[in-house]
Structure 1
């Protein structure tokens, strides 16, 4: 297969022993062989290091943080040592189909380092027998249908589409030239800010219709941590660093408003899911719109749980 440039695949790891082996194998099994896999162990206290070291593939670059610094700092560590022409990120509980790099890299090359590339994610339930596919992330979460084989987004159309979840492949030359890094204080929106910066550095996003990224909806992922609204901090950071157009500014302002609404609702459901009914009631009285929103969203939640159960998935 033709070498279209080395890809630096970045995998931050923190106590990921349950799914880590499958994630690493899915990268090593890629049909496009020209990559390095930079695995950053961010102070794990479980068997993650043992699992990583069990692989003898010379394409793996292993880096260990002696203490937990956070997912953004783990990715930054990898970005600093990356030798590739292109960068890619995979979470330690997700899986790539073996053709992912082979399918996406030619689009990057054709774009002459002025684009970054993504595929629609397949949302998956976890189950005792492995991943069970649910459906398109763009359709289910963002109400976006891709009618063309390749759809191009600029920052404006990306914001209009609800700023969907990304795990793209991007030119590292732009990251280095513009000094783009991930910011730990912006977690859980650090990756979204990173991709906003790619747009604001002049890149466009190309999304292919086919799906090669299996995104695991981890059981309990929405109940274990109280919601954090980092979007206002992200927008403030971007406004200070970049020249934002009036149209972009209006869309960012709308993003902040919607994010605040989602934060209020997610905080309310966090209390409910953790059976903190007293706090849920108190929070709901202060924010009465959450009761109506819960009624509206209930059919969707039930459909999700029924689908998960029928698929043998573990519901949260």
Structure 2
């Protein structure tokens, strides 16, 4: 049985999928299976997959496009390895990625989800993505919902922990990675991040998170619900209305009404009085994050007052 199950969904990625596949097949760690879920692609992706003849590679064909969450869940359900390594069909794994992650997971059995840093390419420009290493900071940064906690396609997860707690990707169109991490945190997961750049993350027009109007609407809706859920976990004394008020305060690009801003600021002030860590999160980081958005609400109120 393979130690690692690499799970990669793919949909209409004919121009990029070969590089992603090759980067996994050329890993310097050999004890893995590579599960590719072809999510009803209508371009030449299926033909490209059929050209590979490697016993480690298994393709699951879905008859129709079902969405990335369903595809990932199907791939995870097929996994036989002790660890599930997440991979996206438009990214490129560094040759030592699996070796580094398996070595760390074997040496640290208390860690359930392990990420790494990455190199980000946008419009041909390359930059380094650096994220927090510590469990407490990662958990607190989840509330920001801005990609500052972990880089999803770099993560490796313990299969047994996920199955024992019935954790899968929620069926949201966007930010399903955050949905899984929230469920994992609530179940007692410990997170860690290797300070090594082990993936090339490519941002382009066809990313699921690309900023089209439709995707932005989905993003705002999904982020709002996930933030409300996180606020409920971190601040159990808040009412649902107070959680919603803070979550709306945190929505970027949203014009705040006076009542929304006032409600959000009041709820944020109440939240900052709660100092007990419930899931190993850093209350200092969490408080600073809440304070930042409360300040933004105050600025919005000031701007509204000046306009009136």
TM over 0.5: yes
Question: Does 1:159 find its partner at 2:142?
Answer: yes
Task: Give the Cα–Cα distance (whole angstroms) in 2 for the partners of residues 218 and 200 of structure 1.
Answer: 33
Which position in structure 2 is the counterpart of 1:50? 47
Which position in structure 2 is the counterpart of 1:72? 69
Change (3 A) 1:90 1:225: farther
By how many angstroms is 1:238 displaced? Answer: 6.3
Which position in structure 2 is the counterpart of 1:86? 83
Question: Does 1:231 find its partner at 2:228?
Answer: no
Question: Does 1:119 find its partner at 2:116?
Answer: yes
Which position in structure 2 is the counterpart of 1:246? 235
Q: Deviations over 1:196-219 (max 9, x none)?
A: 222222122111211011000114
Instruction: Kindly indicate whether the alpha-carbon contact (under 8 Å) linking 2:12 and 2:44 is maintained by their aligned counterparts in 1.
Output: yes
Length, aligned pairs only: 245
Q: Deviations over 1:184-239 (max 9, x none)?
A: 2x220111111222222212211121101100011465354521220222345668
Q: Deviations over 1:118-158 (max 9, x none)?
A: 111210135xxxxx5622223xxxxx5x6xxxx22236433
Change (3 A) 1:65 1:247: same
Relative to the length of structure 2, the TM-score reads 0.70
Task: Give the Cα–Cα distance (whole angstroms) in 1 for the partners of residues 197 and 249 of structure 2.
Answer: 28
Change (3 A) 1:196 1:249: farther
Which position in structure 1 is the counterpart of 2:188? 202
Classify the secondary structure of the residue corresponding to 1:11.
strand
Task: Give the Cα–Cα distance (whole angstroms) in 1 for the partners of residues 97 and 21 of structure 2.
Answer: 14
Change (3 A) 1:8 1:63: same
Question: Does 1:17 find its partner at 2:9?
Answer: no
Change (3 A) 1:231 1:56: same
Change (3 A) 1:96 1:156: closer
Which position in structure 1 is the counterpart of 2:247? 256
Matches within 5 A, 1:213-224: 213-219=199-205, 221=207, 222-224=210-212
Task: Give the Cα–Cα distance (whole angstroms) in 2 for the partners of residues 264 and 44 of structure 1.
Answer: 38
Which position in structure 2 is the counterpart of 1:190? 176
Relative to the length of structure 1, the TM-score reads 0.69
Aligned partner of 1:181 among 163, 168, 174: 168
Q: Deviations over 1:78-120 (max 9, x none)?
A: 1111101001111101000100011111111122153321111
Change (3 A) 1:160 1:63: closer
Change (3 A) 1:253 1:237: closer
Aligned partner of 1:134 among 104, 108, 126: 126
Task: Give the Cα–Cα distance (whole angstroms) in 2 for the partners of residues 105 and 246 of structure 1.
Answer: 35
Structure 2 unpaired stretches of 5+: 257-299, 304-308
Question: Does 1:41 find its partner at 2:28?
Answer: no
Task: Give the Cα–Cα distance (whole angstroms) in 1 for the partners of residues 229 and 70 of structure 2.
Answer: 17
Instruction: Kindly indicate whether the alpha-carbon contact (under 8 Å) linking 1:152 and 1:204 is maintained by their aligned counterparts in 2.
Output: no
Instruction: Kindly indicate whether the alpha-carbon contact (under 8 Å) linking 1:193 and 1:234 is maintained by their aligned counterparts in 2.
Output: yes
Task: Give the Cα–Cα distance (whole angstroms) in 2 for the partners of residues 68 and 220 of structure 1.
Answer: 15
Alpha-carbon RMSD across the aligned residues, in angstroms, is 3.1
Task: Give the Cα–Cα distance (whole angstroms) in 1 for the partners of residues 33 and 156 of structure 2.
Answer: 14
By how many angstroms is 1:12 displaced? Answer: 0.4
Change (3 A) 1:254 1:203: farther
Instruction: Kindly indicate whether the alpha-carbon contact (under 8 Å) linking 2:9 and 2:71 is maintained by their aligned counterparts in 1.
Output: yes
